[in-house]
Structure 1
Amino acid sequence: MSPQNIEPGPHDHEAPEPHDLGLSHDLPTLLNRRHAIGLLSVGGLVAALAACSPRAGSADASSAPPAGAPAGGAPGGASQTDVGEGEIPEETNGPYPADGTNGPNALTTTGVVRSDITSSFGDSSGTAEGIPLTFSLTVVDVSGEGDAGTPVAGAAVYAWHCDRDGQYSMYDIADQNYLRGVQEADADGKVTFTSIFPACYQGRWPHIHFEVYPSLDEATSATNRMRTSQLALPQDVCETVYATEGYDKSIANLQDVTLSSDMVFSDGYALQMAKVSGSVSQGYTATLRVPV
C-alpha cells in the first residue's frame, strides 16, 4: 500500500489539516482501501461517493449516538466486538508523521523501539506532561475465512500523537521526539504504549495515529507499512480529562468538533473507537483491535 504524501507546511491549527479538505483530497485514500477494489468500474464514481457515507458495519456518524452516549460521541465503553468485523480503515498519516514521508524519520533513530513514549529518546531530552494514558493495539489478520481473526505475532506498530497543547514533536517542537515509538507485537498480536492523553486541537477529534508494519526490521521506512489508521477517543473521557489543568484549550476545541464533522471519522468510526477505562487520578487505559 503506497504511503500518503503530505505536503510540508506550518502547523496552523486554525486552518484545516490536509485530511480535512474533503472528497477531492480523501478520494485517493479511499481508493487505496482494500474493500474499494473495483471502484474503477463503470459504477466506480458512484461507489467512491458512497464511500463517504458511514461504512457498512460501522456506527452511523450522522445519526443520533447510541443510547447512553454523549451527543456527537461514543460511550466510554464502546465495544469493538459489537460491530461487524472488517479491516480497519486506511487513513491519512497526517502532516506530522515523522516516518520519512514528510520531513524527518523517527523510525531510523536509535531508541525509537520502546513501550514508554512519554519522554524523548536518542539525542533529545524532555518529557511530555499530561494525564497518564496506556494504550494497547491488537493486530489480527482477518483476510482468511472465519470471524475471529489470527493474531499477527511479530508485526510492528509505530504510534504517535500530539501533546496536551496540541503540538507534535519533531515539527512544532523540533528539538523533541517524545510521544512517538515502535513496538513489536507479542504472540497475541498485542503492543502496548505508555503515554499521556492527547489534546483536542482545532478541527480534529481527539486521536492517535499508528502504522502497522510486517515486522520490526521493516519498520524503518513508510514504504513497508501494511496499514495506516487512527484511533479515536470517546467523548465522555475526553471531557473529563480536558477539565484538568493543562488541557484548557481542548475544552473549546472539543465543543467545536464532532465525530460527524471530523473528516477522518465522519464516514464511520466503530472500528476505530477505543474502549477506555480508568480515572484522572489513576490514569487511563485504552484498547483497540486492529484487523488488517
Structure 2
Amino acid sequence: MRNQGSANSTATDWLDENGQQMDEDHRGLVYDIRTLIDRRRALGIFSGVALTSLLSACGVISETDASASPSSTSTATPTATPSASASASASASASTRLTEVPDETGGPYPADGSNGINVLDDSGIVRSDIRASFGASTTVAAGVPLTIALTVREAATGAALAGRGVYLWHCDRDGNYSLYSGGVENENYLRGVQQTDANGTVRFTSIYPACYSGRWPHIHFEIYDHVATAVTSGPIVKTSQIALPDEANAAVYATSGYEQSIRNASQVSLARDNVFGEDGGIHQIATMSGSVSQGYTASLTIGV
C-alpha cells in the first residue's frame, strides 16, 4: 500500500500491492485517523495540541515535527518524587532542562566562615547523620525524625552532578541554631557535609526544624564543586534554602516539643516570607513522604 496525499487524498491514492484500488473499509488505521482529523478540523473541534498528540500516536508526525511543538521547547520543572530512592532514580534517568533554584541568603548562622564561626574545617563535619554534636559535645538534637534527600542536577541539561559537596544546616526544635543561639553556642549539631552519589543525591538524617518568629520553616544548604572545596572554604556554587510544606508542618508542630512553632507558623506564610515570598517558593518546596510516627522524608531536586 502507498499513500501520496493527506487525509483528504482521492481514492486512487490508496492502492493495494497489485495496483488495485482499495475500499475505504480496508485502508487501515492511518487512513481512518487522517480522514477523521480532516473532517473535525473543518468543524474547528480539534485544538492544535490535541491534533499533534493524535498524529504522533499514529506515527504521522515525524520526530522533527514533534520537537518543534510548543511543549518540547518549554523549560521543564520536574516534580520531586515522594521518596528519596524514587527521587534518586528519577534524577539518574532525567535528561531534560529544569529551572535553576534561586540563590538565597545563607542567613546569619551559616558557620561557614562568612560570619565569624567556621565549622567546615572541623574534623567530623563530613557525615550523613547530623542529629548529634561532634567533638567536645555529643548532645543529640530532639525532634520528629526527618531525612533530607537532595538531588543536584545541571539546570541546562538535567544531568546528575556526582561528586559535588553539599553543606546543609538548620535550626533545632526550639528554633535555635547551634554555635550561635543562646544555650547552644557549644553545640554543632544539625550541620553536615556530604558528597553527592552517582545520581547526584545526598541524604541527611536529621530532625524536623521548628518554625521560629518571622520565617517560614526552612533548611539551608550550600553546593560546592567538591567536598574538599567545602571543607577548605572554597568557592560556593549555589546557596539556597528548602521550604517545608504546610501540611507536614502542621502535623509535626502538633506534637510535644514544638508548641511554640504553632503560634509562629500561624503568623507567617510563603507569600509573605522574606526569602520565599517573591515566587512563593515554587522551586524550593520539598516533596514529603512519611508521617510523624514513622518520620518524614523531604525530597528536592536542585538545579544549578
Note whether the superposition's TM-score is higher than 0.5: yes
Cross-structure match for 2:222: 211
1:234 aligns with 2:234: no
1:199 positional shift: 0.1
Which residue identity is paired with 2:295?
G
Q: What is the match of residue 159 of structure 2? A: 150
Unpaired runs of 5+ residues, structure 2, are 1-74, 91-96
Does residue 160 of the first structure (1) align with residue 169 of the second (2)?
yes
| Residues 76-87 of structure 1 mapped to structure 2, 5 A cutoff | 85-87=98-100
Q: TM-score, normalised by structure 1?
A: 0.70
The equivalent residue for 1:271 is 283
- CA displacement at 1:271 relative to structure 2: 1.1
The residue aligned with 1:90 is 103
Aligned to 2:122: 109
Q: Secondary structure at the match of 2:241?
A: strand
Matched, 1:171 2:180: yes
* Correspondence for 1:99 among 84, 108, 112: 112
Aligned 8 A contact 1:198 1:207 in 2: yes
Return the alpha-carbon distance in structure 2 between the equivalents of residues 171 and 105 of structure 1: 11
Structure 1 position 124, deviation (Å): 2.3
Q: Distance in 2 between matches of 1:97 and 1:273?
A: 21
Aligned to 1:194: 205
Structure (1 or 2) with the greater helix fraction: 2
CA deviation after TM superposition for structure 1 residue 222, in Å? 4.3
Give the letter aligned to residue 128 of structure 1: A
**3-state SS, counterpart of residue 217 of structure 1:** helix
Count of residues in correspondence between the two structures: 216
Which residue number corresponds to residue 302 of structure 2? 290
1:132 corresponds to 2:141:
no
CA distance in 1, matches of 2:277, 2:233: 26
* Aligned partner of residue 230 in structure 2, secondary structure: coil
Deviation at 1:57, TM superposition (A): 8.5
8 Å contact 1:158–1:211 — kept in the other structure?
yes
C-alpha separation in 2, matches of 1:142 and 1:256: 34
Shift of 1:224: 1.2
CA distance in 2, matches of 1:96, 1:164: 16
Give 3-state SS (helix, strand or coil) of 1:186's partner: coil
| Contact 2:151–2:201 under 8 Å retained in 1 | yes
Please state if 1:182 is matched with 2:200: no
Task: Describe how 1:30-69 pairs up with structure 2 within 5 A.
Answer: none
Unaligned runs of 5+ in 1: 1-55, 59-75
Instruction: Tell me how far 1:123 sits from its aligned partner.
Output: 2.3
Equivalent position amino acid for 1:204 in 2: R
Question: What is the deviation of 1:287?
Answer: 0.3
Counterpart amino acid of residue 229 in structure 2: E
- Matched letter for residue 155 of structure 2: V
State the alpha-carbon separation in 2 of the partners of residues 229 and 123 from structure 1: 30
Instruction: State how 1:236-275 maps to structure 2 within 5 Å.
Output: 236-268=247-279, 269-275=281-287
Which has the larger Rg? 2
CA distance in 1, matches of 2:186, 2:272: 33
CA contact (8 A) 2:167 2:223 kept: yes
Cα offsets for 1:176-195 (capped at 9, x unmatched): 00000000000110000000
- Please state whether the residue corresponding to 1:93 is helix, strand or coil: coil
Report deviation, 1:122: 2.0
- 1:103, distance to aligned residue in structure 2 (A): 1.4
Tell me how far 1:219 sits from its aligned partner: 0.5
SS in 2 for 1:258: coil
* Structure 2 letter corresponding to 1:244: T
Question: Compared with structure 1, are the counterparts of its residues 91 and 221 closer, same or farther at alpha carbon in structure 2 (3 Å cutoff)?
Answer: farther
Q: What amino acid maps onto 1:201 in structure 2? A: Y
Q: Are the aligned partners of 1:101 and 1:222 in contact in 2 as well (CA < 8 Å)? A: no
**Counterparts of 2:199 and 2:99 in 1: how far apart (Å)?**
19
